């Protein structure tokens, strides 16, 4: 297990503060956030390349904050990979063993097993300067794991690769994580990568973690407007509370010129008093366009509106709908097969369902 407690890094004009997170054994925890949010500073501090002002780092309940880099029991792959171009692939991989004065035959066999697992055995005698981007990534992973650490820090390791190669390496990383019981803390700004690789997520913006926890919970319920904006959620509506019932919240949106019903968390019940302001949101893929009201009588929060624009995006289409008596557009994401069945076109009147169970709220 890796633990970071109350970490603070003060750079004068920029501060990383109140950073606390736990990476359970055998899991991958991803810190995600925009460029410049301070993600790399955290990894550099944990590995010992940068001093931090306050806080502590623990590995298996042992504090490592004051230990030399080579004694921390944690491996690190920086964003630039730090492959030595003047060495061969094998010399790059063995570098960490030589630095740590590891000579055992078993460790050498383990490294060769790793090289085979990552598909670089045939590259061992090649000059590192002649490697492709994907080959460099594999070499960097083998080198990081060569000394036998089960704790791995990854700094945007796949950011320079094209989509196909990225996804191949995502699968490979999950395989070796499971086989060698690796505990991984990784940073990225790529949403798909974060949700594919991460078991837990922490979303970091401007030096602070805005939300942390199970990736499904974060996906379904962004905690702040900043988190929702980072996720690219456009359907955010200002509302005020009208009624708090036993199982549902009723709010009114002037922007949409309608009332909405949605579930609420019991812990928030006392904060949801009448006339309180809340932001209500829904992901574009959770919005439905119906052929007619009678087709799906179980659907709630129905609005009638006009199709303003349509954008084709590969396997799905983005449709912008403007509800009647409103200037607030609703973004709808529809798979191609469903889009064709609905016969959607610009200026057409449609019925939109904002599914109650898919709505989330953010307290102002």
Residues in the chain: 364
How does pLDDT run across 61-86, given as a tens digit for each residue?
999 999 999 889 999 999 888 888 89
Q: Tell me, what's the pLDDT at 76?
A: 92
């932001």: which residue's tokens?
A: 279
Domain boundaries, the chain: 2-221, 233-363
Q: Tell me, what's the pLDDT at 316?
A: 93
Three-state DSSP at 336 gives helix
Q: CATH class for domain 233-363? A: mainly beta
DSSP one-letter code for 252: E
pTM of full prediction above 0.85: yes
Distance of CA 206 to the CA centre of its chain: 16
For every one of its 364 residues, what pLDDT tens digit does the chain have, with 9 covering 90 and above? 999 999 999 999 999 999 999 999 999 999 999 999 999 999 999 999 999 999 999 999 999 999 999 889 999 999 888 888 899 998 888 887 776 666 667 778 888 888 888 889 999 999 999 988 888 888 988 888 888 889 999 999 888 788 888 888 899 899 999 988 999 999 999 999 999 999 999 999 999 999 999 999 999 899 999 999 999 999 999 999 999 998 899 999 999 999 999 999 999 998 999 989 999 999 999 999 987 666 555 568 999 999 999 999 889 999 999 999 888 999 999 999 888 888 899 999 999 999 999 999 999 7
**Angular region, 81: left φ>0, alpha ψ -120 to 50, beta rest:** left
Q: Tell me, what's the pLDDT at 117?
A: 86
The residues that bridge with 333 in the sheet, in sequence order, are 318
Q: Tell me, what's the pLDDT at 104?
A: 66
DSSP string, 284-349: GGGEEEES-TTT-TT--SEEEEEEEEEEEETTEEEEEEEETT----EEEEEEHHHHHHHT--TT-E
Q: Tell me, what's the pLDDT at 298?
A: 57
Rg (C-alpha) for the chain, rounded Å, is 25
Q: Tell me, what's the pLDDT at 99?
A: 65
d(Cα 224, Cα 154) in Å, to the nearest integer?
26
| CATH number, domain 2-221, options 3.40.50.300, 3.40.50.620, 3.90.1150.10, 3.40.30.10 | 3.40.50.300
- Which residues are CB-neighbours of 270 under 8 A, at least 6 positions away? none
Q: How far is CA 287 from CA 70, 233, 258, 332, 353, in A?
A: 51, 12, 16, 6, 6
> How many CA atoms are closer than 13 Å to the CA of 30, on its beta-carbon side?
20
């Amino acid at each position: 297990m890796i633990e970071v407690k109350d970490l603070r890094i003060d750079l004068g004009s920029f501060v990383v503060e109140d950073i606390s997170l736990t990476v359970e054994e055998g899991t991958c925890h991803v810190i995600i956030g925009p460029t410049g949010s301070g993600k790399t500073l955290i990894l550099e501090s944990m590995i010992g390349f940068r001093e931090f002002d306050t806080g502590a780092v623990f590995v298996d309940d042992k504090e490592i904050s004051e230990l030399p880099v080579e004694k921390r029991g944690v491996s690190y792959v920086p964003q630039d990979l730090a492959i030595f171009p003047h060495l061969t692939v094998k010399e790059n991989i063995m570098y960490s063993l030589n630095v740590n004065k590891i000579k055992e035959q078993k460790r050498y066999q383990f490294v060769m097993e790793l090289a085979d697992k990552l598909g670089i055995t045939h590259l061992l005698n090649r000059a590192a300067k002649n490697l492709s981007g994907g080959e460099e990534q594999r070499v960097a992973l083998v080198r990081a794991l060569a000394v036998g650490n089960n704790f791995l820090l990854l700094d945007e390791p796949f950011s320079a690769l094209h989509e196909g190669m990225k996804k191949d390496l995502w699968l490979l990383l999950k395989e070796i994580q499971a086989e060698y019981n690796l505990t991984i803390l990784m940073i990225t700004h790529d949403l798909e990568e974060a949700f594919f690789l991460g078991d837990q997520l922490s979303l970091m913006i401007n030096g602070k973690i805005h939300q942390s926890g199970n990736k499904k919970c974060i996906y379904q319920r962004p905690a702040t407007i900043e988190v929702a904006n980072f996720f690219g959620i456009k359907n955010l509506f200002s509302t005020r509370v009208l009624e708090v019932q036993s199982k549902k919240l009723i709010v009114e949106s002037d922007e949409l010129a309608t009332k909405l019903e949605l579930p609420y968390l019991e812990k928030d019940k006392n904060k949801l008093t009448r006339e309180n302001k809340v932001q209500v949101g829904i992901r574009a893929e959770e919005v439905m366009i119906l052929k007619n009201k009678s087709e799906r009588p179980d659907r709630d929060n129905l609005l009638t509106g006009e199709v303003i624009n349509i954008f084709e995006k590969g396997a799905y289409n983005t449709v912008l709908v403007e509800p009647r008596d409103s200037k607030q557009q609703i973004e709808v994401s529809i798979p191609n097969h469903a889009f064709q069945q609905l016969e959607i076109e610009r200026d057409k009147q449609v019925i939109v369902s904002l599914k109650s169970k898919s709505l989330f709220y953010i307290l102002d």
